[in-house]
Amino acid sequence: MYRIWVEISLDRIAANYHAVRQVVGPGVLVAPVLKADAYRHGSVEVAHRLQEEGAQWVAVSNAEEGVVLRESGIRMRILVMGDFLPYERDALAEYMLTPVVHSLDRLRALDGFAASLGRKLTCHVKIDTGMGRLGIRAAHEATAEAVLAVRHLSVEGLMTHFASASDFSTNQTANQLEDFEAVARVLTAVGLQPPLQHLGSSAVVSYGMQRAFGTMVRPGLAIYGYVAPSKGDAPPLSLQVEPALTWKSRLVEIKEVPPGAQVGYGATWTAGRRTRLGVVAAGYADGIPHAVSNRGCVLVGGRRAPVIGAVSMDLITVDLTGLPGGNVGEEVTLLGRSGTVKWDADDIAAAAGTINYTVLCGIGNRVKRVYS
Ligand SMILES: *Cc1c(COP(=O)(O)O)cnc(C)c1O
């Protein structure tokens, strides 16, 4: 018995992975993104299940995340997407992680490092086609020259990342795609054709943007059962996925307060009538956004109970007035489904004025994990 926990369906994650596989077809690899502890679904557990399902690649943000997976017995290829500093190169080599290189200087430096090891290392190269974050931003010819010049690296992949993939009101994605195709052509012209060309994350798969599939896709959010909301004139969804995570806690106290009673820090809520309050063992230390104060809800016995007052560190208060049941110790659903009612990461994000990613990634360390 726990006070606060998540229930994660690995079957659901497997089904979402196969749904992605189905959309991209047999010629395209799928590298599920397991960074940030698999968006808090647990990277080791998720990786092992994906390995059993036949996945050949996964992607993480940094070397440390890759080392955790390797040490847990993962044999799949592991792409390290979030750049690395010189002190992280030993771990990359030792644990057979595949780094992405983000500048021509770093490419030459990694080549020198591989030479010093007396070993050939494999890497991918990322082009900044407009995201303006990581990636090579050089003339395509200079990129081709630098890749041609390395002696101890095998450049297996060429990648980029879209800034606005689910925004169909801008042509940024089309421009980025053109830029990527242009650099690929320049490389091909000098005899370089990295076999793995990957551009797209979940949005590209969700909206069936085939031209951007390349030979590999890197979905994160979709694997966990969500779709990035679109802007503009979006094509119909190509992908059907369902959330794999349900977040639960318990009612630790129930009491009645009279009209005029105030609730929580700052007394931001005042009872307009006799109110049955429930105190739930979940707070911002667990990842409940403070911004859902007086805005969110939890599900109790298939009904919505509104959050009243400010979210505090360890507790939230909800209004149980008129709801059946609601006993001390009873389960409440913080995120998920209860009966026919849904309150998922999209709903919490809308209430908190944020994005579904931060709701999932915000689930705290104190929250236990139960797998099914
Ligand atoms: C996080 C990330 C992804 C996955 O993005 P989703 O929107 O969760 O699918 C893919 N590629 C890169 C480079 C990333 O940083």
Model confidence over 357-368: pLDDT tens digits?
999 999 999 999
277 CA to centre of ligand 1 in angstroms: 40
Residue in 81, 101, 159, 241 to alter for ligand 1 test, most ligand atoms within 8 A of Cβ: 81
Judge contact between 124 and 194, C-beta under 8 A. Answer: yes
Q: Structure pTM?
A: 0.97
Residues of the chain with pLDDT under 70: none
Which residue among the candidates 231, 255, 265, 368 is catalytic per the annotation?
265
Tell me how far apart the alpha carbons of residues 18 and 6 are, in angstroms, rounded to a whole number.
Answer: 23
Give residue for tokens 């943007």.
209
pLDDT in tens, 137-152: 999 999 999 999 999 9
| Residue 357 annotated among the catalytic residues of the structure | no
Judge contact between 283 and 360, C-beta under 8 A. Answer: no
60 lines ligand 1 (CB under 6 A): no
Atom of ligand 1 nearest to the CA of 161: 13
**pLDDT confidence of residue 325:** 78
Q: Which helix (H) or strand (E) holds 246?
A: strand 245-257
Atom of ligand 1 nearest to the CA of 223: 9
**pLDDT confidence of residue 96:** 98
131 CA to centre of ligand 1 in angstroms: 12
217 CA to centre of ligand 1 in angstroms: 9
Of 333, 359, 94, the residue nearest 221 (C-alpha)? 359
220 lines ligand 1 (CB under 6 A): yes
Atom of ligand 1 nearest to the CA of 33: 4
Residues counted in the chain = 372
Structure token pair of residue 333: 């659903």
**pLDDT confidence of residue 152:** 98
| Residue 231 annotated among the catalytic residues of the structure | no
Tell me how far apart the alpha carbons of residues 246 and 360 are, in angstroms, rounded to a whole number.
Answer: 10
Structure token pair of residue 87: 């002190």
In whole angstroms, what separates CA 152 from the centre of its chain?
33
Which residue among the candidates 35, 95, 248, 284 is catalytic per the annotation?
35
Q: Decide: helix, strand or coil at residue 176.
A: helix
161 CA to centre of ligand 1 in angstroms: 8
Which parts of 193-294 fold into alpha helices (H)?
Answer: 202-206
User: In sequence order, what are the residues at sequence separation of 6 or more whose Cβ sits closer than 8 angstroms to the Cβ of residue 18?
Assistant: 53
Q: What is the DSSP string of 272-333?
A: SS-EEEEEES--GGGT--GGGTTT-EEEETTEEEEEES---SS-EEEE-TT-S---TT-EEE
Tell me how far apart the alpha carbons of residues 118 and 142 are, in angstroms, rounded to a whole number.
Answer: 26
**pLDDT confidence of residue 281:** 98
201 CA to centre of ligand 1 in angstroms: 5
81 lines ligand 1 (CB under 6 A): yes
160 lines ligand 1 (CB under 6 A): no
